[in-house]
Structure formats: C-alpha cells, structure tokens
Structure 1
Amino acid sequence: MLCLIESALLAGQKFGSQVLRNERSGLLAFVRPVTLKAKAAECPKEESHDERNMRLKRPQSPHLTIYSPQLTSMLSISHRITGIALSAYAIGLGLGAIVLPESIPHYIESLECAELGAACISTLKFVLAFPLTYHFWNGIRHLLWDSGLFLSIREVYLTGYIMLALALSSAVALSIM
C-alpha cells in the first residue's frame, strides 16, 4: 500500500479522500490529503536569565547573601568542602604515586628528617586529618537522619555541636600521634 501511495505521489497524482486497495492483502486503506506549509524559523531572542524571568513576571529567588549564617547551613557547606578536600587528597596521592620518582613513604620520611619541629608537624597532621574526621562524623550524622532519627530542630543543632566536638577531638588525637 505504501508503495502504491509513494508511486502515485512521485507521479504527481493528487489524492482526495480516496479509498485505495492494497495489492498484496486486498485490504482497503483510506487516504486523507495532507498539506504542509513551510515557515521560516524564528531566531530566539537573546535575553539573560533575569530578563526572561522579569518578562514572564516570575519572582526573584533570594540568594544566600540575604540570610545570616546558621549552624545547619554552615555544616552542610563545610561537609561538601571536606568531601572535595578528601577527593583532592586521593587524586593527589594517586597521581603522586604514578608520577613521582620515589614512593610516598620516601617523601614522608624526608619530611620527618627536615626537622620542622613538633608543632609544625602536628599542625600539618591536623590540617590533613580534620577533613577526614569532620566528613566521617558528619556522614554518621547524616546516616542517623536517613534512618529517621534526630530530625527536630533542637536535635539537629545538638547533633551538629556533638559532631563538631567529635571531629575536632579526633583530629587533634590523630595529629599528636
């Protein structure tokens, strides 16, 4: 049937509301005339996000800068930052193991032999340990939330302070070892 319609269209025949019979199956098919009109494509108007929202009369969303810092928002932002720092540690150590001519323990031993002093070494250890301990304890806090625990505002703030105390104390413990 399609072959019959295509050949008729190619031959320039015009179909009205006609009934065509399929040569193979003998079934009847009703053909409806269709006319397509070409239309030039419109160039999209170059407008910014804000201009589009003003044209559509959409309200502006408030930005972070209008809010005063709260414990919950600061802990959320710093959780993301420590996750990025831990990823940077992993990427840096992985690339260092591949690219550097010596092994990582060799560089750690060289750092210990540099006689930087106990305070400097402990500070460096704290800077390296804090993102790990913070992300660990805050991750446990999030797992507790996922299980439906400690979701009231009072409990959220309480677990935030407890998490900060645990993160700081465990980072200090790791840095003095």
Structure 2
Amino acid sequence: MSALQLGWKLSRPAISAAPMALSAHDQMKEFWKKNEKLNRPSSPWIIYWPHLPMMTSLGHRTTGIVLGTGLYGISIGVFLAPGDFNSIIQGIQSLEIAAPIMCALKSIVAFPLVYHYINGLRHLSWDAGYGFKLNTQYKTGILAYGSAAAIALLLGSLSYW
C-alpha cells in the first residue's frame, strides 16, 4: 500500500535560503578582528596574575608529570645502566657530595611526590564537596605547599640524624 493510498500528504520541506556557514578559518579571522578592534590582549597571562588556587592546580599537574616521566626515566636508566642497583648507589656515594647539598637534593626529589600526595587528598575533599570556598582554597593551598616542603625536608634529612 502506498503513502497516497493511506491518505498521507507528501510534501517537500521548504528550502532555506540562509547563507552558508563560515569556515573555521573565517570564524577565527573574525574572532581576532573583533579582539583587535576591542583592544583585547592576545594572551590571558597579560591580564591574569598568578594566584594561589591557580598555582596549586598548576603545581599538581606539574608534579604529576614530573613523577610519571621521572619514574619511567629512572626505571629505563637503571635497566640500561651497566651493573646492578647497588653499584649505582655506590657510584653516587663515591662522588662524596657534602651532606647539606645531598640533603637539599634529596628534599628536592621528595617534594613532587609529597606535594602531589597531599594536594591529591585536597582534591579528594573537593570530590566529596568540601573546600570550594575561596578562603578555604587559600588556606588549604598554603597548607599543602607548606606541609609538603616540611615533609620533603624531613625525608631528605632522615639519613643524617
């Protein structure tokens, strides 16, 4: 049975005479023309000063990248290095680096792990719905950086007690 036999009207949709959409390239050109006309800066770093919540977010991402690439880099380096792990440690000890310098180096190496862990706990509290108020973000951000620095320094100095 055809559509006409069922009593359906067959009509064609009206053809619109709307202009074709701009290409992505044309849209970007229009965007930049508008920004130039309004005297807007081309980079947000010009108008946004770094603030603590932004820096804690940037720090968390950076330490995550450092930890990931460091883990792979050290693992591959130890795998490819001649000898075993003990010989690598003995090689480092044979450099006879002064205790304060070695303590500082150990603390610098410990900081990304400690900060990423502490700030990760901060993010978990956000996932639970706590700590979004701006003054709380500043307090917990200072606490995250301060406690991470203190714990990293403690870990770096443990072998010198």
Pair in the same fold by TM > 0.5: yes
Paired residue for 2:138? 157
List gaps (5 residues or longer) in structure 2: 3-21
What residue number does 2:31 align with?
Answer: 53
Q: Tell me if structure 2 keeps the 8 A contact 1:96–1:104.
A: no
Q: How far off its partner does 1:94 sit?
A: 1.6
Q: CA deviation at 1:163?
A: 1.0
Query: Whose Rg is larger?
Result: 1
Higher strand share: 1
- Residue 53 of structure 1, CA deviation: 2.5
Which residue of the partner structure matches residue 86 of structure 1? 67
Report the CA distance shift for 1:143/1:99 in structure 2 as closer, same or farther (over 3 A). same
**Shift in Å at residue 48 of structure 1?**
7.5
2:68 and 2:77 map into 1 onto residues whose CA distance is: 14
Change (3 A) 1:109 1:66: same
Is 1:76 matched up with 2:54?
A: no
Deviation at 1:117, TM superposition (A): 0.9
- TM-align CA RMSD: 2.7
Q: Unaligned stretches of 5+ in structure 1?
A: 1-18, 20-43
SS of the residue corresponding to residue 145 of structure 2 reads helix
Higher relative contact order (CA 8 A, sep 6+): 2
Structure with bigger helix share is 2
Counterpart amino acid of residue 133 in structure 1: V
- Is 2:146 the counterpart of 1:168? no
Kept in 2, the 8 Å contact 1:79–1:138? The answer is: yes
**Alignment map for 1:1-150 (pairs within 5 Å):** 47=25, 50-54=28-32, 63-150=44-131
Distance 1:116 1:63, change over 3 A: same
Seq. identity, %: 31
Supply the AA of the counterpart residue of 1:79. Answer: H
Q: Partners in 1 of 2:30 and 2:81 — Cα distance?
A: 51
SS in 1 for 2:78: helix
Give the TM-score taking structure 1 as reference length: 0.66
Structure 1 residues 50, 173: CA separation in 2 closer, same or farther (over 3 Å shift)?
same
User: TM-score under structure 2 normalisation?
Assistant: 0.72
